[in-house]
Amino acid sequence: MRVLGIDPGLRNMGWGVIDVSGSRIAHVANGVCHGVGVALADRLLALHEALTDVVARYEPDTAAVEQTFVNKDGAGTLKLGQARGVALLSLAQAGIRIGEYAPNSVKKAVVGVGHAEKTQIEHMVKLQLPGVKLLGPDAADALAIAICHAHHAQSAGRLDQALAKASA
């Protein structure tokens, strides 16, 4: 299974691709899509085009997007939500199934605690993907989201198998 993780951002949208085989995960690629331009619409278009290219290039089987963290800056949260919408749209247009995870869920899955610092996330991503060259903190976060999704997908698969076995 090939998983694409996306860390939404209006200026920098991190992405990371991993391959999953059983309990083994392997790094494929990571990077950052840049929302260039002054107007919001131009930045959203740039993100859509760049992410569409990533999807076409790496052909993920499934994807995961981090949920928007709501903070005191309402306008900032709305803009981040628009970038997240672009990510969801790009994936939906490609017919890719999407998982969505809260930031604390991603941190807990990768680091073991829900309030981990960015440096801890980067460190654990490097441990789980030996030899990875991270192309920035947004790309590291995106790989963490992909790893989180892989763990959840494996758990769901085991649950489905157990339920099928129990009903047989």
For the question of residue 19 being annotated catalytic, the response is no
Distance of CA 50 to the CA centre of its chain: 15
Bridge-based pairing state of the strands 2-7 and 24-34: unpaired
For the question of residue 138 being annotated catalytic, the response is yes
For the question of residue 122 being annotated catalytic, the response is no
Complete DSSP assignment for 3-72 = EEEEE--SSEEEEEEEEEETTEEEEEEEEEEE--SSSHHHHHHHHHHHHHHHHHHH--SEEEEEPPPP-S
Q: Are 107 and 114 in contact (CB under 8 A)?
A: yes
Burial of 11 by CB count in 10 Å (0-12 exposed, 13-18 middle, 19+ buried)?
A: middle
**Among the listed residues 168, 4, 6, 2, the one whose alpha carbon sits nearest the alpha carbon of residue 103:** 6
- The single residue of 7, 61, 117, 122 carrying the catalytic annotation is 7
- The single residue of 19, 138, 141, 160 carrying the catalytic annotation is 138
The DSSP code for 80 is H
- The single residue of 42, 53, 59, 66 carrying the catalytic annotation is 66
Kindly list the catalytic residues.
7, 66, 138
